[in-house]
């Protein structure tokens, strides 16, 4: 009898602990359900419907929106643009980010100022960044073209060229993103014991050997996280495109998220915009899962 009573008390105590835990996370769950789960489910539903401006209610069309996109040359052009943009930005932003992290991790004077200066582009307002780079890329009178002219070269007018607009936007993105990724790399570097570097120095290891044989392997968990963040972020560029190019010239700078914005808020085609949204979510989920499943088991966690 006493044993049964003890079991009941233990269950009651555990139930109270579980209830408190659920009450503590309830506000966060409410926000996740309202602002994440519900929009995803609604996008899934709308992607199976036709809902354009002037329609009172959506019309169920099944997978017709997906089939139309699959046969649309513009959709595949947008996907190629997005892939090309990711190739131009992910690795360079990571490489520069880890380089900046190595610099600001040194014990030198003014390191606090350097950290702030490198990170500042990540917190700059969208309009300020777009205005700054518009001044740099402005045709003829912009800083870039003026430098080229002073060197005896022809002005490029990069934002108006089909072959130059995405590299130009990529340079702006890398400038903004590298400082953001630097913070994660700096955190990973500071978690590496200084004794390891001291032992390597005693053994006569050169800086490059130390970086390649010690720093990079111990940064593997951070590299996995940062690479996932960098890949998903590269799919989400829209604000600067709205301000600087609006997809011009001839959709050469139209990326996936801007295409979603254009269909949803300019053409008011919620069905097509939701279909593109589902495709983007599927791509981001697939990329993240592949990275974690293929890389996570090769990583050593301290």
Quick: pLDDT tens for 159-196. Answer: 999 999 999 999 999 999 999 999 999 999 999 888 88
The pLDDT of residue 295 is 63
pLDDT-based confidence at residue 6 (cuts at 50, 70, 90): low
Query: Which pLDDT tens digit goes with each residue over 29-42?
Result: 999 999 999 999 99
- Average pLDDT of span 76-91: 96
The residues, any chain, with a CB within 8 Å of residue 243's CB and separated by 6 or more, are 126, 127, 130, 134
What is the rounded distance in angstroms from the CA atom of residue 44 to the CA atom of residue 275? 7
The pLDDT of residue 298 is 56
The pLDDT of residue 78 is 96
pTM over 0.85: yes
Mean pLDDT of the chain: 89
- Average pLDDT of span 98-107: 92
pLDDT-based confidence at residue 276 (cuts at 50, 70, 90): very high
The residues, any chain, with a CB within 8 Å of residue 167's CB and separated by 6 or more, are 88, 158
Statement: residue 70 has pLDDT above 90: yes
User: By C-alpha distance, which of 90, 255, 256 is closest to 173?
Assistant: 90
Query: Which pLDDT tens digit goes with each residue over 206-261?
Result: 888 989 888 998 898 899 889 989 999 998 888 889 999 999 899 999 999 999 99
**Who wins on pLDDT, 119 or 5?**
119
Domain positions in the chain: 2-46, 72-298
Query: Which pLDDT tens digit goes with each residue over 104-143?
Result: 998 888 888 999 999 999 988 888 898 899 999 988 888 9
DSSP 12-24: HHHHHHHHHHHHH
- Average pLDDT of span 254-276: 94
pLDDT > 70: what percent of the chain? 94
3-state secondary structure 164-220: CHHHHHHHHHHHHHHHHHHHHHHHHHHCCCHHHHHHHHHCCCCHHHHHHHHHHHHCH
Q: Which CATH superfamily is domain 72-298 in?
A: MetI-like (1.10.3720.10)
- Average pLDDT of span 197-214: 87
What distances in angstroms separate CA 215 from CA 119, 212, 247, 253, one per listed residue? 22, 6, 40, 37
Statement: residue 291 has pLDDT above 90: no
- Average pLDDT of span 262-268: 92
What is the rounded distance in angstroms from the CA atom of residue 223 to the CA atom of residue 216? 8
Statement: residue 50 has pLDDT above 80: yes
What is the rounded distance in angstroms from the CA atom of residue 43 to the CA atom of residue 36? 11
CB under 8 Å, gap of 24 or more: what pairs does 264-269 form? Answer: 267/53, 268/52, 268/53, 269/51, 269/52, 269/53
3-class SS of residue 50: strand
3-class SS of residue 115: helix
């Amino acid at each position: 009898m006493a044993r049964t009573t003890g079991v009941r008390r233990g269950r009651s105590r555990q139930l109270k602990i579980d209830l408190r835990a659920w009450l503590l996370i309830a506000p966060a769950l409410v926000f996740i359900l309202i602002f994440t789960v519900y929009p995803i489910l609604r996008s899934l539903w709308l992607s199976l419907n036709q809902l354009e401006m002037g329609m009172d209610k959506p019309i169920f069309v099944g997978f017709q929106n997906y089939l139309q996109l699959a046969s649309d040359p513009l959709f595949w052009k947008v996907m190629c643009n997005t892939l090309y943009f990711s190739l131009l930005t992910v690795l360079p932003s990571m490489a520069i980010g880890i380089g900046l992290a190595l610099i600001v991790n040194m014990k030198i004077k003014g390191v606090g100022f350097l950290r702030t200066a490198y990170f500042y582009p990540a917190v700059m307002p969208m309009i300020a960044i777009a205005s700054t780079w518009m001044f740099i890329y402005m045709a003829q009178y912009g800083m870039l073209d003026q430098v080229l002219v002073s060197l005896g070269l022809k002005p490029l007018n990069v934002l108006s060229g089909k072959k130059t607009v995405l590299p130009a936007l990529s340079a702006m993105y890398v400038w903004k993103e590298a400082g953001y990724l630097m913070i994660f790399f700096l955190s990973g570097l500071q978690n590496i014991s200084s004794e390891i570097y001291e032992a390597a120095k005693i053994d006569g290891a050169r800086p490059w050997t130390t970086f390649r044989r010690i720093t990079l392997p111990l940064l593997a968990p951070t590299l996995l996280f940062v690479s996932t963040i960098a890949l998903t972020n590269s799919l989400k560029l829209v604000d600067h495109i709205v301000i600087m190019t609006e997809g011009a010239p001839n959709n050469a700078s139209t990326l996936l998220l801007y295409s979603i914005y254009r269909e949803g808020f300019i053409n008011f085609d919620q069905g097509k915009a939701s279909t593109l949204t589902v495709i983007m979510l599927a791509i981001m989920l697939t990329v993240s899962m592949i990275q974690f499943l293929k890389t996570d088991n090769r990583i050593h966690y301290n």
